[in-house]
Amino acid sequence: MEQERERNGRLCCLCSGRAALRRPKTLQQLCRECFFRVFEDEIHQVIVSNGLFTRGERVAIGASGGKDSTVLAYVLAKLNQTHDYGLHLFLLSVDEGITGYRDDSLETVHRNQIQYGLPLKVVSYKDLYGWTMDEIVATIGKKNNCTFCGVFRRQALDRGAALLKVDKLVTGHNADDIAETVLLNILRGDIARLSRCTSITTGEDGPIPRCKPFKYTYEKEIASILQMLIVVLPESSSKIWKDSDLGRFSTSLDQVRISGFLQLQKCQSKEHVNGVKWCKACVLLDGLNRGLPKLGIGRSHGVIGASRDRNERNGGKTIESKQCGTLDF
C-alpha cells in the first residue's frame, strides 16, 4: 500500500482517488470532490444542529465580495437546493465609497449574483449618511477612520436587511475571526462582549438576528474551497472572474472587520430598525456634520450633551439624520 501511495502520490482517504489537499482541520488527505462534499455536509450539520433557519424564511447574505462571503453564498445556495431548506435567499452588500477597494469588490458581488441567481441589494454610505468613506477619511485623516467604517457598516447592513424585509442576516465570519475577536475582547477587558462574541446567533432580542454558519470553519479551508470553486466553474461562468481574483482573495478584503465588531447601541428612531436615543452611528454622524468629527471618537456623552445643549439654546429644534430620521429633544 505504501509503495502504491508513493507511485500514485497522496490518495484520498475517502475514495482512494488522487488527493488534492490535506485538510487543515482534520489533516485528512482528500480529493477535490470529497473535500467539497465533506465541507458542505459540515455546514449543513451546523445549520441543522443549531436550528439557524426555519422553512420559508427570507435570509440576507452579507456579501462583501471577499472570500468568506463568496463561499457562503455558494454553499447556502447549494444546500438550500440540495436539502430543500425552502429559504428565500438574497445578497446584501454595502458600498462604503472607498475608491479602488469597494468598487472592485462589488464587481465580485455582481458576479455572485449572476452565478447563483440570487437577488442583490446594495446600500451605500452616501445614501444613508450623506458621506462616503473617502470623504470621511479626507475630513478626519487616516487615524480613527476605521471606527466610522465599522459602526456605519454594521448599521448599513441592518438598514439593508430591513429594506429586504428578511428574517435573518447571515455573515461569513469564520472560526479565525471569532478567535481574533475573543483575543481582542480579552485585551480590552470587555467581559460583556466576551460572553457573547462566540455565539453562533446574535441579536435574537432584536428585529433581525445575525447568524454565522462558518463559526467552526477554518479560514484556510474557505480559501481552498474558493480556489477550487473558480477552477471547476464551467467555462462560460469562469470568464466572469478576473485573473487577479485568486490573488485578491488570498488576502481578506474585509480590512475593517475588526472595527465591524464594535457594538452598535439601539437608536430610538421611528425610521431605524433597532428601537436608546443617540446610537453610536448617530453620534459619529453628528460629529461629522458639525465639522467636529473627533468628538465622535471614544466617549460619546460629550457629543450628546453638547447637541442637547445646542438644541435647547435653539428652542428645541430637531436634528435631521439620514440614517436615523428626525431626533426630537
DSSP character string of 222-284: HHHHHHHHHHHS-HHHHTTS-TTHHHHHTS-S-TTTTGGGS-------SSSS----S-HHHHH
Identify which of 253, 214, 236 has the alpha carbon closest to the alpha carbon of residue 67.
253
Is 63 labelled as part of a ligand binding site?
Answer: yes
Is 66 labelled as part of a ligand binding site?
Answer: no
C-beta separation of 77 from 116 below 8 A = yes
Query: How far is the C-alpha of 326 from the C-alpha of 272, rounded, in Å?
Result: 10
Cβ atoms within 10 Å of 211's Cβ, excluding its own:
23
Is 244 labelled as part of a ligand binding site?
Answer: no
Torsion sign (Cα): 101, 103, 104, 106:
positive
Is 205 labelled as part of a ligand binding site?
Answer: no
∠ CA 154-156-160, rounded to 5°: 120
∠ CA 320-323-329, rounded to 5°: 40
Q: Which three cell numbers stand for residue 186?
A: 480579552
Say how many Å lie between the first and final Cα of the chain, rounded: 79
- Residue 322 neighbours by CB under 8 Å, 6+ apart: 127, 128, 129, 130, 285
Is 167 labelled as part of a ligand binding site?
Answer: no
In this structure, the chain runs to a length of: 329
Is 160 labelled as part of a ligand binding site?
Answer: no
Is 64 labelled as part of a ligand binding site?
Answer: yes
Binding-site sequence positions for ATP: 62-64, 68, 94, 172, 177
Binding-site sequence positions: 62-64, 68, 94, 172, 177
